[in-house]
A and B are shown apart, each in its own frame.
Chain A
Amino acid sequence: AQSVTQLDSQVPVFEEAPVELRCNYSSSVSVYLFWYVQYPNQGLQLLLKYLSGSTLVKGINGFEAEFNKSQTSFHLRKPSVHISDTAEYFCAVSPTGFQKLVFGTGTRLLVSP
């Protein structure tokens, strides 16, 4: 079975500061990795994904994530956040060959002026 851990339920940060949202996973099979963002009262939007190849993945809105196989992590980073980045962020894994996503519990990013 697969599981995803997002240890930080909430991350407060000031505007223009860097941020890292942590994601660790466990799986006995290969997985694809995703970060989704959810703004209030909206659906989930894909930020970025890791399928294979380069371990540093760049996504939309200036976000990037690094896949670390030895540490089974896929942390999300942004060098300078904006107020508009305030949202809920979900890390998810998909075992190869399965048509399901396993979500973490989410991290609420709160950006203040």
Chain B
Amino acid sequence: DAMVIQNPRYQVTQFGKPVTLSCSQTLNHNVMYWYQQKSSQAPKLLFHYYDKDFNNEADTPDNFQSRRPNTSFCFLDIRSPGLGDAAMYLCATSLAGGSNEQFFGPGTRLTVL
């Protein structure tokens, strides 16, 4: 089945220790998104890639970076995690030119100690 895969599902890191979250997709979608979702809140868009073009949201902290080495993979790098970065991180994909229906992965829950 075509899908969006996120690894790991649970990640524990220490305050200030860089961490990378991974997303891959078999849908061959050209748009990939990273969202941050805190408890009992809606997902908050951090940035998205339209093909290789990176689109950062204006309020995304510099501490968050992303890489998309190819169509299938996208990474979220948190350079110096703070306690406030503990959250669920969701990856999603869509096909440009359509309805923008987004397909979500299962998420990675990040804990910062």
| A→B interface (CB under 8 Å) | 32, 34, 36, 41-46, 49, 51, 90, 94, 98-101, 103-106, 108
Q: B99 at the A/B interface (Cβ < 8 Å)?
A: yes
In the assembled complex, which residues on chain A have CB atoms less than 8 Å from the CB atom of B102?
A: 44, 101
Do residues A49 and B99 form an inter-chain contact, with CB atoms below 8 A? yes
Mark B76-94 against chain A: 1 for CB-CB distance below 8 A, else 0. 0000000000001010101
Check A42/B50 contact, CB under 8 A, given A103-B43, A104-B42: no
Do residues B100 and A103 form an inter-chain contact, with CB atoms below 8 A? no
Smallest CB-CB A-B distances: 8 pairs = A43-B104, A94-B100, A103-B42, A44-B104, A32-B99, A43-B106, A43-B107, A51-B99
CB distance from B110 to the nearest CB of A (A): 12
CB distance from B51 to the nearest CB of A (A): 11
CB distance from B23 to the nearest CB of A (A): 11
CB distance from A47 to the nearest CB of B (A): 11
Q: Which of B99, B100, B101, B104 is most buried by chain A, counting CB atoms within 10 A of its CB? A: B100
